[in-house]
Chain A
Amino acid sequence: MKRELPERFRSYRHVWVFIEFEHGRIHPVSLELLGEGRKLADQLHVDLAAVIVGSGRAALHEVAATTFSYGADVAYIADDPVLADYRNEPYTRVITSLVETYQPEIMLLGATVLGRDLAGAVATTLKTGLTADCTELAIDGERSLAATRPTFGGSLLCTIHTLNYRPQMATVRPRVMAMPTAQERQSGRIVEFPVDLREEDMITKVLDFLPDTANEAAQLAFADIVVAGGLGLRTSENMQLVRDLAQVLGGDWGGSRPLVQKGWIPAERQIGQTGKTIRPRLYIAAGISGAIQHRVGVEGADLIVAINTDPQAPIFDFADIGITTDAITLLPTLTRVFRQRLAVNRMAG
């Protein structure tokens, strides 16, 4: 089903990344996307641009400098007091008019709360396609963005294209793409985009913001070692075996989605497509089958260890080390062995 790109879209060029800048912080997903966007832009021989929206000239220029060190060639800055806190209406307006003015062929956003709220509104206004929660982005032979995401059912992936509309939009969840390394002292071109917004016209007002107090589970995504349990553990009590092992290793713990649905673990401990994406140095999965939605959340781990009674379990297709045995028996033993080895070393040290 090949369709011709309509004339009005042929001038659309360049890859854009929306930079999430809130409460003085750049969301890491935006930098991850710059790394990914750089690869796409190089393949297409076009520029990579960062789209920076907010309030305060100095701060936004500092953000621009950061994006240059992560690979952006250009930074579009929209600076206005109305844009100080994220709100759907003014952000959608600014982004859509930026797109209409400078016509990018690809636009990437983080699949965060902010990104999901914004992307759907922008894509609908522009009447273009938006692929959600992609795990892989590539350019095909016809300059088209091939956006791959898991499909429901637990074992398949699908590749989605936006053939005859521009820009081609996609969201990607945090930690799915690797964090690129920053290059010092890179420079780029800054384009200040004039904004015509009045606070009186804004229907929704931000009355207050209550920041999260450091949430311990929020660290899961960044932990060096993660131990997780699945339905194979049989009872919620057995999750303690997972927590014990994680504790001995100084790591964090989580589980598959059914455990959240059963109330064995809190939602913020879910690992996978609709939970946290993790990139630890060591991931130990106990009693988890390895469905695609789980797999995409852990594939970035350096070393994956799977404990599962079923030698045919799909998790062994992507684990590095596997063992077919009862996790309920093995976990406490494993905890003991790790504890002993570390204790021996403590004495030696």
Chain B
Amino acid sequence: MQIFVCIKQVPDSGQIRVHPVTNTIMRQGVPTIINPYDLFGLEQALRLRDRFGGEVTVMTMGPPMAVDSLRKALTFGADRGVLLTDRVFAGSDTLATSYALSYLIRKAGETWGAPDIVFCGKQTIDGDTAQVGPGIARRLGLSQLTYVSGIDDMDLTDRQILVRRRGDHGVQVLRSRLPVMVTMMEGSNEIRRGTQADALRAARAEIVQWNAATVGISDTSLCGLRGSPTVVKKVFAPTARDEKAEMISTEGISPSGMAEALVDQIFSRQPGLRDDLFRQAAGH
């Protein structure tokens, strides 16, 4: 079977810094990682390949350096990586991103065989919209299965797939038909370490690189900033509240003294809450 896994290279969020003067995000020198949510899809893809045979292709749209993430995915055992990179994609919102990715997936399908499953991450840790997976599904006419906590069964002959899906109030058991777009829940599996052989292969592997023209995009007005209906009008720092926090003094005061003062302060600001607490304590 053919499985495609969409991954996004993201800044390692723990290490992002904001410039203290200009308030802009300092991306230079920030290490990048594969979006952690994408690894649950990748591991699921590898398990399906191990069981049913076939190939796992990892793909991303991004700057040339996104090759690193694809290569990293190969060390876990993916069979090939494809990068879609072109300046026309700069500034894409989710609609423009799913547009570009749908062309990438179509072209990859023509090259290696149409995908039975396309995995996306549940969301990313930077943009964090969870909109690209559904966008791809819609554009390619794939059945959309988001928040999947487990794939219980699959039958390649009658093209059925049985999944459990995490809803807001419980778990849905769904049966659908391939091809599908799946996003996996975090914690549904753990990415494997990859073998020595995978590491060696990944180091030497050639990552396929395509641009807008090679995947067949002729109308670049639907790409990048131009093709994005959302426009970021302003970026700003949150305003501090008008009154600053009232600070409890600590100079030469014992922890119990501080705690007493803090409790006094809380109770005087929230007398209703104090009364309720006392009432509960008194067992009423």
Contacts and interface: CB of A to CB of B under 8 A. Distances in A.
A98 interface: no
Given A303-B266, A318-B241, A320-B269, A156 B280 contact: no
A4 to B, nearest CB: 14
Contacts of B266: 282, 303, 305, 321
B157 to A, nearest CB: 17
Dominant secondary structure of chain A at its interface with chain B: mixed
Interface stretch (A43-51, A63-71, A99-107, A207-215): A207-215
B248 A321 contact: yes
Interface string A270-313: 00011000000110000000001001000000111110000000
Contact of B273 (A119, A211, A282): A282
B94 interface: yes
B234 to A, nearest CB: 5
Interface string B113-142: 000000000000111111111110111000
Nearest to B138: A124
A187 interface: no
Contacts of B273: 224-225, 281-282, 302-303
B246 interface: yes
A253 B230 CA distance: 37
Contacts of B255: 325, 329-330, 333
Interface in B246-284: 246-248, 250, 255-256, 258-260, 262-263, 265-266, 269-270, 272-273, 276-284
For chain A, the bracket of interface size reads 35 or more
Contact of B245 (A155, A321, A338): A321
Contacts of A274: 128
B134 A152 contact: no
Contacts of B236: 156-159
A160 B269 contact: no
Contacts of B258: 323, 325, 330, 333
For chain B, the bracket of interface size reads 35 or more
Contacts of A159: 232-236
A88 B136 CA distance: 14
B263 A317 contact: no
B177 interface: yes
A320 B186 contact: no
Interface of A: 1, 20, 22-23, 25, 27, 85-89, 92, 112-114, 116-117, 119-121, 123-125, 127-133, 146, 151-165, 203-212, 224-225, 249-250, 258, 267, 273-274, 281-282, 292, 295, 302-306, 316-325, 329-330, 333-334, 336-338, 341-343, 345-346, 348-349
A191 to B, nearest CB: 26
B238 A125 contact: no
Nearest to A204: B176
Interface stretch (B40-48, B104-112, B163-171, B193-201): B163-171
Contact of A121 (B144, B167, B168, B174): B144
B124 to A, nearest CB: 9
Contact of A164 (B229, B235, B262, B280): B229
A131 B229 CA distance: 10
B149 to A, nearest CB: 11
A295 B18 contact: no
B281 A345 contact: yes
Interface of B: 11, 13-14, 16-18, 23, 25, 93-95, 98, 125-135, 137-139, 143-147, 162, 166-177, 186-187, 228-238, 240-241, 244-248, 250, 255-256, 258-260, 262-263, 265-266, 269-270, 272-273, 276-284
Nearest to A212: B170
Contacts of B134: 88, 116-117, 119-121, 124
Contacts of A89: 143-144
B259 A154 contact: no
Nearest to A329: B255
6 contacts: A130-B129, A281-B270, A303-B273, A323-B247, A334-B259, A341-B263
A325 B169 contact: no
Contact of A152 (B98, B125, B176, B270): B125
A20 B236 CA distance: 32
A164 B174 CA distance: 38
A120 B131 contact: yes
B105 to A, nearest CB: 14
